[in-house]
Amino acid sequence: MSCWKSWNDNSNGIAAVAAIVGLFVSGAGFWFGYHQLQETSRALQASNSYSIQKDARELNEKLQENGNIDKLMSGQIPVDDKVRAYQDLWAMFNFYLSVFRQQQADGIPESFAKSFSADFCGFVRSPPISAAWDEMVQQKRIGNAHTTMRIQWCSA
């Protein structure tokens, strides 16, 4: 019976200690959950980065095989090849747009996105590609999302 009396006499102190322990456990649980979320986010960014690099290599191989963009860049392109070159440019611009969208969704590290944006901006600044871009915009072959990407990536 003295155990119950002691418990009863010290119930406020015991409740305070239990509340402090509960607060500590809750804080540790919150920190652990936050840490796990950060780790998951980093793993997802790494996976996305790997996929983008793989897709970039495959697209580059395909475009190198076709040779249409090289012809466009040289200014020596027959009319028939120009149509195919614009198709290749469209695929390339859409690839960059997917990278841009991943950046907007925090799906890739900022440093990774910056390397692609620098590559894109250097590419579209070349006179033949810039002219092709303008023509494709007029033809509505590339739209507002592409234009937004170019403004945000290349205006700085």
Residue 13 predicted with pLDDT over 80: no
Which three-class secondary structure state does DSSP give residue 8? helix
In this prediction, residue 88 carries a pLDDT of 94
* Proportion of the chain above pLDDT 70, given as a percent: 93
Question: Tens digits of per-residue pLDDT, 21-43?
Answer: 888 888 878 787 777 877 877 88
Least confidently predicted of 36-50, 66-80, 97-111, 142-156: 36-50
Taking alpha carbons only, the member of 61, 56, 63 closest to residue 113 is 56
The long-range contacts involving 109-115, CB below 8 angstroms and separated by at least 24 positions, are: 109/45, 109/49, 112/45, 112/49, 112/52
CA distance 21 to 29: 12
pTM reported for the whole predicted model: 0.77
CA distance 66 to 86: 12
CA distance 68 to 85: 5
SS (H, E, C) 70-97: HHHHHCCCCHHHHHHHHHHHHHHHHHHH
Instruction: Quickly state the pLDDT bin for 7 (edges 50, 70, 90).
Output: low
Instruction: Quickly state the pLDDT bin for 99 (edges 50, 70, 90).
Output: very high
